[in-house]
Copies of this chain bind each other. A is one copy, B any other.
Amino acid sequence: MLGSKAATDMCRIAAYTGPEIPLENIIVRPAHSLLEQSQHATEAKLAVNGDGFGISWYGADTAPGLYRDVLPAWADENLTNLCRMVHSRLFIAHIRASTVGETSRANCHPFKFGKWSFCHNGQIPHFKAIRRRMQAALPDHLFEVMQGTTDSEMIFYTLLANGLDADPVAAMHATLQQIGPDGTDGPIKLTCVFSDGQTLFAFRHASSGTAPSLYASGVLDNGGRALASEPLCGTAARWTAIPTDTICAMTVAGMNTLDAAVAA
């Protein structure tokens, strides 16, 4: 719509695992909460993060709950009520900023399939050139349920097709291979957070330059742990940057990197 802009997509992510807490303890209450970041991000390329948001959360069911909407997060009373009332032991929240394309729920993160939910911050600048190929590579049961048109959703379904269930490292490696080298439109940037309901996985990658920021907290006041695009103040834990090109696995017991590096 504003054609002179580059196709940037700088989003904000926050995720948590630990003892059950109301979602708002991460999303709304910290001094530098996700909601706050959506209006005054200090590390993002755009100051505006108003193109939709979403939350996936895990409870008794295997499948996560999912709540997504296109209204800017800060205008949505449903969201603040949900964050106050819903308690969860593992959840992912995402606020989307995009200067290209129309906002639709189908393009809001997280995406979910079965027990998995996934969100992404970054971009494949040459996505247009590889979209048909990636889509053709999906098995029918994944092809049929894709609803949107973003590179983010394609990355998620390609990870699933590549065996995310069995081996996240191998699935991520194969997915990066399918994305291929960056073109002339700029570097591939891919910071993502995903979960099977037991573990929070985090991954950062840039084909050149810096991958979008993502930090892991130490042990929080309540014994839990968190991931966030920018450290959430007021949660009493030291934050460390997620390393690139290796999948980090966070559980309430701790955080470790999966054995192999993803990108050879």
Contacts and interface: CB of A to CB of B under 8 A. Distances in A.
B103 A106 contact: no
A39 interface: yes
Nearest to A35: B2
A184 interface: no
Contact of A81 (B48, B66, B72, B140): B66
A71 interface: yes
Interface string A59-89: 1110101111111101111101110111100
A77 to B, nearest CB: 5
A131 to B, nearest CB: 8
Interface stretch (A143-151, A190-198, A201-209, A236-244): A143-151
Q: Which 4 A-B pairs have the closest CB atoms?
A: A65-B85, A75-B103, A50-B50, A47-B47
Given A48-B50, A135-B135, 6 more contacts: A2-B74, A65-B84, A71-B71, A75-B103, A106-B106, A128-B144
A39 B48 contact: yes
A143 B149 contact: no
A71 B35 contact: no
9 contacts: A1-B35, A48-B50, A50-B72, A65-B85, A70-B71, A77-B105, A104-B105, A128-B144, A146-B149
Nearest to A74: B1
A217 to B, nearest CB: 23
Nearest to A60: B87
A72 to B, nearest CB: 5
Interface string A19-32: 00000000000000
A149 B68 CA distance: 19
A67 B47 contact: no
Contacts of A144: 128, 131
A86 B85 CA distance: 9
A74 B100 CA distance: 9
Contacts of A149: 146-147
Given A86-B85, A140-B132, A143-B132, A1 B80 contact: yes
Given A48-B50, A72-B50, A99-B74, A81 B67 contact: yes
A75 B49 CA distance: 12
A57 B85 contact: yes
A70 B74 CA distance: 12
Nearest to A136: B136
